[in-house]
Amino acid sequence: MSDNALWAVNEFSTTPAFLADLLDRLKESEALATGLLSENQRRALLTATEELNYRRATAVVGEAENKVFQDFELCMDISTTSPFRSASNSFSQLVQQANLLLKRQHLPFNFWFNDLIVQRYNQASEGMSPHRDHIRYTHLVALVVLDGAANFSVCEDRSGANNKIINSQPGDVILMLAPGFSDGDKRPFHQVRNIVGPRHSFGLRYDSFAQ
């Protein structure tokens, strides 16, 4: 199968109709997971992680009660020829198609993911403590699990109160609310714990500050 065929929208393991239903349910759930990648797609992206140049995440960001602890490696410098770009473009198309099926659209007509990150967690990783994504990331966040396992959860605050685990498997995508989704302002606290690694995840966001 050619690279272009691999990332055709109909190669994903979910459909626009199913994804539309998930978007409708997302507003009340804050985060939901579903299958996304075929096994060929998952393996292609996992192979591509080996070609990336990672750096350590800053161990502690924020101050006082706003501190966030991070224990992983990341890469945001993803080339235009990378399979991650093809995957992002095709998934953006899928999300657009799903959004158009809704009676009330939750996303802008031309919504497109423009911010990509690959994160790598080692076996002994402590993950990431409860935090919220930067306000610049709007409408929808998608986190694609490539391998390994972890407890990704949403919670009420930085203490982790009322923690709710979003069950996911390699090949799944976790969808999470961001400000602007259905004209709302929710920006959920979330965390990553109990790593069984190595674990790679692929994050897709819309950066409203990008030029």
- pLDDT of 152 above 80: yes
What is the spatial distance between Cα 199 and Cα 144, in angstroms, rounded to a whole number? 11
Question: At residue 201, what are phi and psi to the nearest 5 degrees?
Answer: -135, 155
Is residue 91 a contact partner of residue 203, using CB atoms and an 8 Å limit? Answer: no
Helices (H) and strands (E) in the chain, counts: 4, 13
User: How far is residue 2 CA from its own chain's centroid?
Assistant: 25
What is the CATH architecture of 3-205? Sandwich (2.60)
Residue 93 pLDDT: 98
What span, in angstroms and rounded, lies between the C-alpha atoms of 23 and 192? Answer: 22
Arithmetic mean of pLDDT over the chain:
96
Place of tokens 């065929």: 5
Banded model confidence at residue 171, pLDDT cuts 50, 70, 90: very high
State pTM to two decimals: 0.96
Domain ranges of the chain: 3-205
pLDDT at residue 27, rounded to an integer: 85
pLDDT tens, residue by residue, 88-146:
999 999 999 999 999 999 999 999 999 999 999 999 899 999 999 999 999 999 999 99
